[in-house]
Structure 1
Amino acid sequence: MNPSILFSAPYRKIARDGLWDNNVVLTQNLALCPLLAVTGTATNGLGMGLATMVVMVAASAAVSVSRHLIPAEIRIPIFVLLIAALVTLVDIFLNAWMHELHKVLGLFIPLIVTNCVILGRAEAFASKQAVMPSMWDGLMMGAGFTLTMVILGAAREITSQGTLFANASVLLGEGFQFLETIIIHDYKGFLLTALPPGGFIMLGFMVAAKRLLELKFKKKTQAPLANLNDSILEGGEL
């Protein structure tokens, strides 16, 4: 595969959809259960996001490869079985190699099977596209989800504990020790943001911030067009 193809217009659109325009959480408002339950820290959010992203990429590839072999009448049950098999592999890997993280994420790893985003992308995109675009779509959707998980987890962790990526070396391995940071020393903590209701409130602020940024960008792009139209009208009057 030519790496330059990733910079082509279709691949750029897929990336923008996954990371921003059609973000799993901030736009589609999906996968809120693991989002609110797991993102007590940025480390947990990163681990859960990466696990979900791996499943999304692998599921998209598997569905795309087998799209011509699967009868349309039973495609959804087969997609679910493929996703369940991949989640089982990820669950076994985490339990074997990242046991502490596996204990923290707990039941939410097997529940990736029920994440409607993965099945939705398999049905709406991977089942109709070639392998590389499908994998790229899974990667970008997963990256957008992971980024949102990490940002929300970081905001909740800083406001509740005054730290950032606490226990990263314990949960993810010694290679992640550089991420561990104390933001506020001797911080007493704010309990609400450590609980799911506080996470829900902070998620609302994130969604509102995204909408405001989109409105601001839209106004900036429309302003030159409005000025151009005014200039054309003025020129016609002259």
Structure 2
Amino acid sequence: MNVAFERIKNGIFNENVIFVQVLAMCPTLAVTSSAQNGIGMGLASTVVLIGANLVISLLRNVIPDKVRIPAFIVVIAGFVTLLQFLLAGFVPALNKSLGIFIPLIVVNCVILGRAEAYASKNGPISSIFDGLGQGLGFTVALGIIGMVRELLGTGKVFGAQLVPKAVDPALIFILAPGAFITLGIMMAIMNQRKLKKSSK
């Protein structure tokens, strides 16, 4: 139980994919124009992370070292294909809005990195929780960035009008430059908090 809690805590806080490791910048900047898209992408990646980590952990003693990376990619691609079929069947609007970024989960450095660094060296239960922690950290970060961008860019969050319509939104925040600005400000705030904690 302690291992499970530690892996989840690390994924969300200490080893957060976006705010700490600064990985997966392409989907982070591209799909976070709304909170719904950000959370949808995060949850999709979490499902693939958990599934791929489990299978790779179970096969870690069977896959030869020489072909481990291609083998990992085949496993990840299988889960991404299954996920895309499920999204197309049950949530077609989300599938359409995420577009090409769903198939690109196959080459997401976070998923391949966790397969190589953790799942291929640890047991299945620990690997499941590692995938869950990394996925939740990714989802939380994408959700927060998406909410900030959507609020500042449209005055809404999840379709609910939070800013009076009389106030003009800053449309730049739902465009590509707004993604860089939002991410940069949020990372600066987090780094400042870390510096304050370390100086105490």
SS of the residue corresponding to residue 20 of structure 2 reads coil
- 1:101-122 Cα distance to aligned partner (Å, 9 max, x none): 1111111100000101100000
1:207 matches 2:187 = yes
Match of 1:52 in 2: 45
Output the CA distance in 1 between the equivalents of 2:186 and 2:170.
Answer: 19
Output the CA distance in 2 between the equivalents of 1:190 and 1:74.
Answer: 49
Output the CA distance in 2 between the equivalents of 1:141 and 1:27.
Answer: 12
Match of 1:235 in 2: none
Output the CA distance in 1 between the equivalents of 2:132 and 2:144.
Answer: 18
Match of 2:67 in 1: 74
Match of 1:137 in 2: 130
- 1:116-159 Cα distance to aligned partner (Å, 9 max, x none): 11000000000000011101000000000000000000000000
1:190 matches 2:183 = no
Output the CA distance in 2 between the equivalents of 1:199 and 1:62.
Answer: 34
Output the CA distance in 1 between the equivalents of 2:56 and 2:153.
Answer: 41
Pairwise CA distance, 1:11: 3.4
AA aligned to 2:122 is Q
SS of the residue corresponding to residue 128 of structure 1 reads coil
SS of the residue corresponding to residue 15 of structure 1 reads helix
Match of 2:57 in 1: 64
Output the CA distance in 1 between the equivalents of 2:191 and 2:168.
Answer: 33
Give the alignment of 1:109-128 within 5 angstroms. Answer: 109-128=102-121
Match of 1:36 in 2: 29
Pairwise CA distance, 1:12: 3.6
Pairwise CA distance, 1:208: 1.1
Q: Which has the higher contact order (CA 8 A, sep 6+)?
A: 2
Output the CA distance in 2 between the equivalents of 1:214 and 1:136.
Answer: 25
Output the CA distance in 1 between the equivalents of 2:139 and 2:128.
Answer: 16
Give the alignment of 1:76-115 within 5 angstroms. Answer: 76-115=69-108
Paired residues in the alignment total 199
Pairwise CA distance, 1:185: 2.2
The CA RMSD over aligned residues, in Å, is: 1.0
SS of the residue corresponding to residue 120 of structure 2 reads helix
AA aligned to 1:96 is G
AA aligned to 1:15 is I
TM-score by length of structure 2 reads 0.96
AA aligned to 2:11 is G
